[in-house]
Amino acid sequence: MIKRLRMKFALTAIGSVLLVLIVLVGGINIFNYREVVSDSDAVLRMLSDNGGMFPERRTPPQDRFDGENHLMGRDRIDSPELAFETRYFSAVIGIDGSVGKVDTGRIAAVSETEAGDYALEAVSSGKTRGFIGEYRFIVSPQTDGSMLVIFCDCGAGLANFRGFLRISVIISVISLVLISIAIFLISGRAVKPVAESYEKQKRFITDAGHEIKTPLAIINADADVLEMESGTDNEWIADIKKQTSRLTELTNDLIMLSRMEEGRDTLTFESLDLSGLVTGQADSFRAVAASSGKTIGTSVAAGIRTRGDKKAITELVSILLDNAVKYCPEGGSISVSLAKESHGSIIEIINDTADDMDPATLDQLFDRFYRGDSSRNSDKGGYGIGLSIAHAIVNSHKGKISVHKKEEGKIAFRVFLRDD
């Protein structure tokens, strides 16, 4: 349990850091990309408004100059150097789809033929602006019905964007790895108080259980002596024996649960004939089921073996069968199946039920002392701890246990035991 808690803490912390990095790095890079696009669109609008050329030399706004008439904080769009920094070309597409005037005087990487092809592709796309390769374009309708298509070379801006993206991702991955290592190292300290409290709780349950056993045995023995001395049936003595028996059963269950939660170190693993074990347990419950008009059917594949603690696995099957018999209505049926699957075996116990439990609360059946409805009360016997023991046994064998509704009026417990 503590290992799972530590792992859950570490994964939650790492997941939170990863989410923050994704939002932070993703946001910065998206903003960076939008800046490249926005800057290119501003240049293209300027060219489109001036028929595919930059306007005459422009003077930056006065607020860009200091007291000594020096240009400060130059904005690229307002800069008089913009026309000399920008690489662009344009082409006119006529009404009939033919390529008209082509201007490639401000770019060396594109020929007039290529410029015409780019313009045709842009017009045929149906978009007024977009990218073709690393060239951002704008389609501007002309008064004579033709289309002026202007392209701006965004190669430098996109290269900077990709470079920053690559560096930011690499740094983020390295940071995540380092942070993950740090989280795993400190997670032990973070859950240490919980681990200590949990160990004290288990130790208390085990120690108290063993201490309680002795006075319960003495009380039961004294009740036997009183019963023999009285020579007659005494309802008070009978009640004392009944309650001491219940307390003994509860104490044994708590000790068993504590032992199972201590994990594999307290178990003795050996090769088990799982088919024979399941069949034997099902047979032992047939008489109990028949006494209340219930039937038990089995479908157990032969020759299935597993590795596990024989006493624990026997207790697991017994708990599930006892639970099925208790909560199966009179005249109902119970089915027990065992099948081989890849990497493990599946035990499934299905019983009729009169309970109308919410499927969302079914997993709570494995909680200690949980009783989900009025039918799961002390009148049925038990203390709501049996399924908790079953859950702990399965976990100690690195398996999985689940409960779900098969169909209306049926509930199924499914156990997967791994091949060890």
Please count the CA atoms within 13 angstroms of the CA of 16 that sit on its side-chain side: 6
Looking at 133, 159, 185, which one is the last position of a domain? 159
Which pair of structure tokens corresponds to residue 182? 């740090």
Looking at 107, 126, 159, which one is the last position of a domain? 159
Q: 319 lies in a domain?
A: yes
286/406 same-domain check:
yes
Q: 139 lies in a domain?
A: yes
Q: 243 lies in a domain?
A: no
Q: 225 lies in a domain?
A: no
Rounded CA-CA distance 37/385 in Å is: 64
Per-residue pLDDT band at 376 (split at 50, 70, 90): very low
**Cβ contact 368:414 at 8 Å:** no
Which of these, 124, 141, 153, lies nearest to 51 by C-alpha position?
Answer: 141
Residues 107, 112, 116, 117: is their CA dihedral positive or negative?
Answer: negative
Which pair of structure tokens corresponds to residue 232? 């007659």
What pTM was estimated for this model as a whole?
0.55
Q: Specify the pLDDT at position 360.
A: 65
271/147 same-domain check:
no
Maximum separation of any 2 CA atoms in the chain, in Å: 124
Which pair of structure tokens corresponds to residue 94? 């006529």
Q: 73 is in which domain, residue-wise?
A: 7-159
Q: How many domains does the chain have?
A: 2
The β-bridge relationship of strands 344-352 and 270-273 is: unpaired
131/13 same-domain check:
yes
Q: 298 lies in a domain?
A: yes
Which of these, 113, 111, 119, lies nearest to 94 by C-alpha position?
Answer: 119
- Helix (H), strand (E) at residue 406: strand 400-407
For the cut 80, the answer to whether the pLDDT of residue 158 exceeds it is: yes
Output the domain CATH number for residue 284.
3.30.565.10
For the cut 80, the answer to whether the pLDDT of residue 214 exceeds it is: no
Q: 92 lies in a domain?
A: yes
34/152 same-domain check:
yes
Q: 296 lies in a domain?
A: yes
**Cβ contact 305:271 at 8 Å:** yes
392/272 same-domain check:
yes
Per-residue pLDDT band at 121 (split at 50, 70, 90): very high
Looking at 159, 181, 216, which one is the last position of a domain? 159
Q: Which residue has the tokens 């791994």?
A: 418
Q: 279 or 265: which carries more pLDDT confidence?
A: 279
Q: 186 lies in a domain?
A: no
Which pair of structure tokens corresponds to residue 243? 């309650």
